[in-house]
Amino acid sequence: MNARFGRFAIGAFAVLGFVAATAGSAFAQTPTPRSLMAGVKFEAASAATTSAFKVTTSRPSYRRQQNTSNDDGGVGFGVLAGITRNTLSSDDLEDFFKANTGTMLGVWVGGNKNGTVGFTGEFIYLIRKSDTDEGKFSYPALEIPAVFHINFGPEDRNKGLGYVIVGPVFTINLKQKLDDVDISEDFNGADIGLIAGGGFEILRFAVEVRGNWGFRSISDEGDVGDIKTRSIEFLVKFRIN
């Protein structure tokens, strides 16, 4: 019994010694609490003052961080409307097609709206018309320019700026009619071309003039020959954001 008690006592003392050593080490590492009056100086008051001590504190100085974010990025979005003056050129049908005026309506979206160089895409519904010896020819289309937009002028857009655009244009030809008769089977469904021009923007409004040159023949009839589109477009644009 005494032997068991002795072994138990030795084990108990060993555990107590370990606990005491651990607590002492933790106590030694515990940081000394800082005084709530740290940073406060007490100076002896002059004879003219009635208080025994004068308390002065040092205030930290705060520097206002400047906003260095770049506002040149972001995507602009807007609407457009205008007129288009279309002509159709053909070696085999010279002077057969006469220029006429159509209308256009659409939307545009572009990145880097406040930068120097950006990329703009447009989705425009065109109503194109030409006069022929056999009647009025209408050939509406969906026009999708994908152009580089290069700005020049002051950084403050409220003061106005000029810009130029250049890039490819994809045209999806819709139903073609000659005096309300559907002749779509005689024409290709798509065209690709080049758009180039320039404009002036102030506040959220822009006025733009550009040329559109089609590269493919819109005719599917071999005996008629190549019929290519040429147009001058006058647009007014409004930026929503």
Q: Which residue, among 49, 43, 86, 41, has the nearest Cα to 230 in the 3D structure?
A: 86
The percent of residues above 90 in pLDDT, for the chain, comes to: 31
Under the banding of pLDDT at 50, 70 and 90, the label for residue 171 is very high
| Segment among 54-58, 108-112, 207-211, 232-236 with least mean pLDDT | 54-58
Which phi and psi angles does 109 have, rounded to 5°?
-145, 140
**Domain 75-239: assigned CATH number:** 2.40.160.20
pLDDT at 224 over 70: no
Which phi and psi angles does 135 have, rounded to 5°?
140, -165
Q: Where are the domains of the chain?
A: 75-239
Burial 150-163 (b: 16+ CB within 10 A, else e): ebeeeeebeeebeb
The model's pTM is 0.64
Q: pLDDT digits over 13-26, tens only?
A: 554 455 445 444 44
pLDDT at 34 over 70: no
Predicted local confidence at residue 5, as pLDDT: 45
Give first-to-last CA distance, the chain, whole Å: 92
Burial 130-139 (b: 16+ CB within 10 A, else e): beeeeeebbb
181 vs 211: which has the higher pLDDT: 211
Q: State how beta strands 141-152 and 135-138 pair.
A: unpaired
228, 87 Cβ separation under 8 angstroms: no
d(CA 154, CA 160): 7
